Chain A
Amino acid sequence: MESIIGVNQVSKLFKNKMAVNQVSFSIQKGEVVAILGPNGAGKTTTIMMMLGLLEPSDGSVQLFGSHPKKQAVREKIGALLQEVSVIDALKVREVIQLFRSYYPHPLSYEELVAFTGFTKDELQKRANKLSGGQKRRLGFALAMAGNPDVLFFDEPTVGMDVTSRKLFWNTVIDLKERGKTILFTTHYLQEADDIAERVILFHEGKIIGDGTPKSIKARLLKQSVSFTPISAINFEELINLPHVTDVYEKNGRIFLLTDHTDGVLASIFSQKLSVENIEIERGRLEDAFEQLVEKREVI
């Protein structure tokens, strides 16, 4: 595996606001990575710095071992950005042809049209007359124009309906199988969980988690064992059980937070606690995410 993107100790300061703070990670060839985080976490700023559209205030970004602004780098990347409209006064067909001409080894016109799914009539339309969703599809085709090795998608599915969204992710999975390296930002947790093999979790300009969706979940989520007490139970006694980190009561059930549910069950039985209806809860990434964001916000 070779490292394609290297982000080293990168910070970005906007008018005294730290948008990105000392961020480091590297991305290997063929990885599909989600940059996940709530709005304003610094995801877009990070993408912009990776693309060379913003200069880091501190630290450095390398794509294919050189500066992202190098022409050799630009020939190998494609991007779908937010808040980029399409060029005016040109037909869809012409915009696609124009973009193909920029690259040394472009995909064929037909392949790119297939990405958009446009009809013959739609290809003759002025690009700025397309609907929002259609513009997005054209943007995707333009990102693919140079047959890039690395693709950047910034909040790609915002504003897409369910069908387009599904279609989009199917295409991404297809591209992944062709060995493309794909990086996308999202604040939809489900997308990160479903598509990415690696999630980099951003919050307030910092990386607060980096790993497989599973490991992120495991790290973030306290699992819990819950039960209803048959007779009154002393909380002191519960919190002193091995592996239990916290105890709380909710709707008449007592929850024991733990990272080792088997151990807690063993203690419950060995100490013959008078409880019933024992259940084990495992979190979803979504809950982990919300928990984490809330927790940070409280602090």
Chain B
Amino acid sequence: MNGFLMQCKFEVLRIFRNPYYVFWSLFMPIVFYVVFTRIFNSGMDDQQLWQAHYLMSMAAFSVMGSAIMTLGIRLVEERKQGWSMFMRITPLSDQAYFAAKMVGQTVIHIFSILIIFTSGAMINGISLTLFEWLMCGMWLLFGSLPFLAIGTLVGTMKRVDTASGVSNMIYMVLALCGGMWMPMEIMPNFVQSIGKWLPSYHFGSGAWEIVRGGQPERINFTLLVGYLLLFMVISGYTRRKQEVAV
């Protein structure tokens, strides 16, 4: 147990020391937030709602990024350097090692959410009820699961370059077509029709509903869980196939 806790602690530390994480999951979302709520903010009917909506978009964008990219690329690096193989001769089991990564990621997600929520509150004086803040945070943590599964799928790639290129692209496409950068309503029709089926859209939707005083819809839950299972199965299958190939 001691080993597992140490592993969790050091996984968190490793992500904090990762410049990609700090840039893409903390710095960029806050910059985007300032740009789209303080500078280009004309044309929105309800300023306050837009500010809260976009804060959720950015928090979701941040969490999605670290789940896919930080996790995925790190997994590839660890395998590439023989580290994940080396871990298999220590008494820490594969499952514990993997679980520690997930715990580490979740701690980081909580941290990112806190930072982004706090900056939203400071930059635009967003006022949600404590219950709404908590619900949004919980939703974002729950919704990160399918993206963590995508991260493990990226983690099965052979080369770090491929993994970072592919995951970057997935990340951008999901963010753009899922309505995280701009509201879904102003997107071209074909983007909307694709976007409505993307996990990122449903990830954002849950939180967008909460800041409007509602709650995530059933379809949001269903699709996110569905995507989670799908990516877990593909990732598990790929991993097993790779092990057999050895």
Contacts and interface: CB of A to CB of B under 8 A. Distances in A.
Contacts of A98: 6-7, 10
Interface in A169-191: none
Contacts of A8: none
B90 A84 contact: no
A214 to B, nearest CB: 33
A94 B82 contact: no
A85 interface: yes
Interface string A40-71: 00000000000111100000000000000101
B246 to A, nearest CB: 7
A208 to B, nearest CB: 27
Contacts of B88: 52-53, 69
A75 B17 CA distance: 30
Interface in A79-115: 79, 81, 83-90, 94, 97-99, 101-104
A88 B83 CA distance: 10
A71 B94 CA distance: 11
Interface string B220-234: 000000000000000
B89 A90 contact: no
A214 B93 CA distance: 42
A89 B17 contact: yes
A92 B14 CA distance: 13
Given A94-B10, A101-B3, A101-B6, A81 B86 contact: yes
B6 A84 contact: no
B219 interface: no
Interface residues of B, number: 24
A265 to B, nearest CB: 54
B127 interface: no
B89 A89 contact: no
B213 interface: no
A97 B91 CA distance: 15
B189 interface: no
Task: State the majority secondary structure of interface residues on A.
Answer: loop
Given A84-B81, A84-B82, A85-B83, A99 B14 contact: no
B77 interface: yes
Given A53-B85, A77-B89, A79-B89, A88 B14 contact: yes
Contacts of B17: 89
A75 B90 CA distance: 7
A87 B83 contact: yes
A75 B88 CA distance: 11
Contact of B10 (A71, A79, A90, A146): A90
Interface string B1-15: 011011100100110
Given A54-B246, A102-B3, A74 B13 contact: no
B118 interface: no
A86 B80 CA distance: 11
B123 interface: no
Contact of A53 (B6, B14, B89): B89
Most buried by A among B7, B10, B88, B89: B89
Contacts of B78: 87
Contact of A71 (B13, B93, B246): B93
Contacts of A101: 2-3, 5-7
A52 B246 CA distance: 13
A104 B2 CA distance: 9
B21 to A, nearest CB: 10
A51 B82 contact: no
B82 A74 contact: no
A86 B93 CA distance: 19
A74 B89 contact: yes
B193 interface: no
Interface in B55-102: 77-78, 81-83, 85-86, 88-93
B18 interface: yes
B85 to A, nearest CB: 6
A74 B83 contact: no
Most buried by B among A53, A97, A101: A101
26 contacts: A52-B88, A53-B89, A71-B93, A74-B89, A74-B91, A81-B86, A84-B82, A84-B86, A85-B83, A86-B81, A86-B83, A88-B14, A90-B10, A90-B13, A90-B14, A94-B10, A94-B13, A97-B6, A101-B5, A101-B6, A101-B7, A102-B3, A103-B3, A104-B91, A146-B90, A146-B91
**Nearest 5 CB-CB pairs, A to B?**
A84-B82, A85-B81, A101-B6, A89-B14, A102-B3
